[in-house]
Structure 1
Amino acid sequence: MALPIEFEQRMQRLLGDEYPAFQDALARPQARGLRVNPLKISPAAFAGHAPFSLTPVPWAEEGFFYPETERPGRHPYYEAGAYYIQEPSAMAVGALADAQPGETVLDLCAAPGGKTTHLAGRMRGAGLLVANEINTSRAAVLAQSVERMGIPNCVVLNETPERLAQYFPGFFDKIVVDAPCSGEGMFRKDGNPAQDEWTPELPAFCAERQAGILDCAADMLRGGGILVYSTCTFAPEEDEGTLSRFLERHPDFEMVQVADPPILFAPARPDWAENGNPSVAAAFRLWPHQLDGEGHFAAVLRKTGAPAEQPEVTFPAARTKKEQEAYERMIQPVLEHVRELPNGCVRQRKDRLYLLTDPRMQEVDELRVRACGVELGTLRKNRFEPSHALAHALPPAAFYRVCDLPADDPRVEQYLRGETFPWDGEKGWTAVAADGFVLGWGKCAGGIMKNHYPRGLRWVGR
């Protein structure tokens, strides 16, 4: 692989005797990984019967390496949201953030959804997860990832960091900033344009943008809260340099010494940055010649000071008789297809119903909302049509009618291709599953399963 000459010169200067090993690593095939979705199945249970050869990723309990010869992205389990295909080094970010059930968490630069879905798995559906992406088309991809993984407690926004900082001052317990960067750590990755787009001036440009994003994140974090900053570049200007300048602007932040960090993570090098802050050595560099993964940088910071008092926000414990009757009328068509829903409230927007699992989901109407909670379905004239999101948000036992097929049954591929197939089941809307992982909806009539898998997701030409 021919690397930009200016990049090579800089890395030779920084790495010295290590540079040949670094260069050799970039010439080897990239490591490949998937991260199991705990909202669907435990990592241990999945590893026990996975149809792929899996090896654990040491720094992420949900993560596994898989061989280059296998294609888990072309398997029904992927379409069912059982796992997310993610570069192994990138899994370090969600592991370091370690979001917990009940927390308020923001993924500020979230597309395509790797970090968001990792955070969601650890939150177990409890608390509030806000995933933001400034680019509109990438926000659509993010929302699709959230839907496929069956995440009930997420709001997907399409906003600028500045707008969010005005809306959420001192609000979040944890914020992840996987910042836009020069992408040097991805030079080896298949089909990645980072190498062609790289210029010697790009790191400085990215560092300036990173500063603005981090300043907004600082405003949105509560006292005592955790900020995880990461990039996929080797450039000290964007890594140790960006962090050092941030700490100079924000003396109310401090680096966190991570307890028992993975032995494969190398300490950051503040001496590589101009006026580097010595405490930045607590951050991590993930080198492709030292572990199986691409280049990454990650740091954990804490905002000092006591958190501001926030009133407890809960759904009303009880409804008046009139409110309860109205609620039952609204939810009744949904409960004709599923036995139960996660705790929360149901909200109607035009002809669609949504399940909100956290009261604060009701407070984002002034923002550009791409997705909010679980879309339950659409109210048509004299009927209710359940949504694809509802199919992904529930386990098979929650549905009245289930067509659960072995993953290698030809009818599974027929379904994913948008075709009908024979099924001698009860008439009506039916959850179609592969080995217990729900793929989507079908509608059974006359011994035929009519296909309701979304057109944009179908296996066309496979």
Structure 2
Amino acid sequence: MNAPADLPPLPPAFVALLDALVPPAWRPRVDASYTAPKAVVFRHNPLRAPDAAAVVAALAPLQPEPVAGMAGVYRLPAHDRQALTHHPLVSDGYLYLQGIASMAAVWALDPQPGEEILDLAAAPGGKTALIAARMGNTGRIAAVEPVRARFFRLKANLQRLGVRCAQLYLKDGAQVGRLVPQRFDRVLLDAPCSSEAQFTRLDPASWAHWSPRKVRASAAVQARLLRSAAQALKPGGVLVYSTCSLSPQEDECVVDALLRERDDLVPEALPWPVDLPALPGLTTWDGAPLHPGLALTRRVLPTEWTDAFFLCRLRKRG
């Protein structure tokens, strides 16, 4: 598909990144994803209503399509986004708009009822709420967010979505591992990043603050948070690291640095929906070798219905 001639081009450094990462067979679909609005993906919230079918039926005349193999997950054409966003079922917390790769971070974490979970960069709260749903609102979630405005957005979202098992902390996540070492059964770090998943040629402002320098700065923050996450994890526990960035500097390279520092963390295969467009993680980048276990990570590609995302699951040795 050829892009409209009047759309502004993506930044040259980002195009070079796509050239390096995306196989030729995927490239037309990836390029097309930057030139049109995406389909909107949402999920049923069982904390508000147990019957997904009844809730989704109440969206009529909207006609969502179930996402194959993903119970309670649906999508609508891009032109229905506004109608869904402002629907009472969304504002009342029965449905929640959330990217499929974002949900996959919680699937990879695989939280169990009664466990103690750390969500280390929790705002705006979609993943926290999905963790609570997977746990049946039992156990305890420590949801950490350092930015005051985002913290209160997190609080409001969790209340709206019916989350009762979370305790919220306005705190720098990089301090948590030192304060409560080896406390949590599972840790999710969906790290702040350079937000490459937000890029669209329909809005040049989507990349106005992006640069290779921003990528490097993001990686430094991510490395501090990931060390804290690993320190807070119990022996035998699971740590999931994710970003909404394509850049290996923020993804495999951050994890590789941690694996070089610690020998008690082992990459594991991800539970993976078969139709989610993704590539195995890299084991070399910029001429340098990376930990071979990073082949088990996944980089979700941007398409007409998915956003760019990176996912890694680590197990701490018992």
Partner residue of 1:129?
141
Query: Residues 72, 260 of structure 1: CA spacing in aligned structure 2 closer, same or farther, 3 A cutoff?
Result: closer
Asked if 2 retains the 8 angstrom alpha-carbon contact of 1:36 and 1:82, the reply is yes
User: Of 143, 151, 169, which aligns to 2:155?
Assistant: 143
* Distance in 1 of aligned mates of 2:59 and 2:92: 14
2:49 is aligned with 1:47: no
Larger RCO (CA within 8 A; separation ≥ 6): 2
TM-score, with length taken from structure 1: 0.62
Distance of 1:132 and 1:87 partners within structure 2: 21
SS at match of 2:270: coil
Paired residues for 1:313-352 under 5 Å? none
CA offsets 1:41-85 (integer angstroms, 9 cap, x no match)? 233443344433222234643321122232222122122210211
Report what 2:315 is aligned to: 302
Structure 1 pair 260–159 and aligned structure 2 pair: CA distance change class (3 A): closer
Q: Deviations over 1:119-162 (max 9, x none)?
A: 11111111001111110110000000011011111111110123
**In the alignment, is residue 95 of structure 1 matched against residue 80 of structure 2?**
no
* Other structure's SS at 1:175 match: strand
Conserved? CA contact 1:134–1:159, under 8 Å: yes
Equivalent in the alignment of 2:284: 271
1:301-345 Cα deviation digits (max 9, x unpaired): 11111xxxxxxxxxxxxxxxxxxxxxxxxxxxxxxxxxxxxxxxx
Q: Which residue of 1 aligns with 2:3?
A: none
SS of alignment partner, residue 255 of structure 1: strand
CA distance 1:76–1:259, shift in 2 (3 Å): closer
Query: Does the CA contact (< 8 Å) of 2:191 and 2:241 recur in 1?
Result: yes
In 2, the alpha carbon distance for the partners of 1:151 and 1:65 equals 24
Distance 2:136 2:266 in 1: 29
| Deviation, structure 1 residue 292 | 2.2
Give the C-alpha shift of residue 256 in structure 1: 0.9
Q: Distance in 2 between matches of 1:210 and 1:254?
A: 19
In structure 2, which of residues 217, 221, 232 is the aligned counterpart of residue 220 of structure 1? 232
* Partner residue, 2:4: none
1:93 & 1:253 partners in 2: Cα distance? 18
Report which stretch shifted further, 126-135 or 14-23. Answer: 14-23
Structure 2 partner of 1:118? 130
Alignment of 1:171-190 (within 5 A): 171-188=183-200
| 1:13-53 deviations in Å (ceiling 9; x for gaps) | 33352434321222132121112111122334433444332
Q: Equivalent residue for 2:43?
A: 35
SS at match of 1:216: helix
Report the structure number with the largest CA radius of gyration: 1
Q: How many percent identity over aligned positions?
A: 31
For the 8 Å contact 1:207–1:237, the answer to whether it is kept is: yes
Question: 2: CA distance between counterparts of 1:259 and 1:34?
Answer: 20
Aligned residue number for residue 288 of structure 1: 302
| Amino acid in structure 2 at the alignment position of 1:276 | L
The letter of the residue matching 1:62 is G
Q: Which moved more, 1:97-106 or 1:23-32?
A: 23-32
Q: Does 1:56 align with 2:66?
A: yes
Counterpart for residue 353 of structure 1? none
Equivalent of residue 14 in structure 1, options 14, 21, 31? 21
Where do residues 351-430 of structure 1 align in structure 2 (5 Å cutoff)?
A: none
Counterpart in the other structure of 1:397: none
Which 5+ residue runs of structure 2 have no aligned equivalent? 1-7
SS in 1 for 2:212: coil
- Tell me what 2:5 maps to: none
Letter in 1 for 2:18: M
Q: 1:259 to 1:200 in 2, by over 3 A?
A: closer
Q: Residue 31 of structure 1 contacts residue 88 of structure 1 at CA under 8 Å; is this kept in 2?
A: no
C-alpha distance in 1 between matches for 2:23 and 2:111: 38
Task: Check conservation: 2:193, 2:245, Cα contact below 8 A.
Answer: yes
Mapping for residues 156-171 of structure 1, pairs under 5 Å:
156-171=168-183
Letter in 1 for 2:56: A
In the alignment, the residues of structure 2 paired with residue 205 and residue 112 of structure 1 have an alpha-carbon distance, to the nearest angstrom, of 22
Kept in 2, the 8 Å contact 1:170–1:223? The answer is yes
> What is the distance in 2 between the residues matched to 1:59 and 1:188?
28
Structure 1 residue 256 and structure 2 residue 268: aligned? yes
Moved over 4 A (4+): 189-194
Aligned to 2:33: 25
1:101 deviates by 1.2
> 219-228 or 273-282, which moves further after superposition?
273-282
1:132 and 1:159 in contact (8 A); partners too: yes
In the alignment, the residues of structure 2 paired with residue 192 and residue 147 of structure 1 have an alpha-carbon distance, to the nearest angstrom, of 34
Question: Which one-letter code corresponds to 2:66 in the other structure?
Answer: P
Query: Which residue number in structure 1 is paired with residue 86 of structure 2?
Result: 74
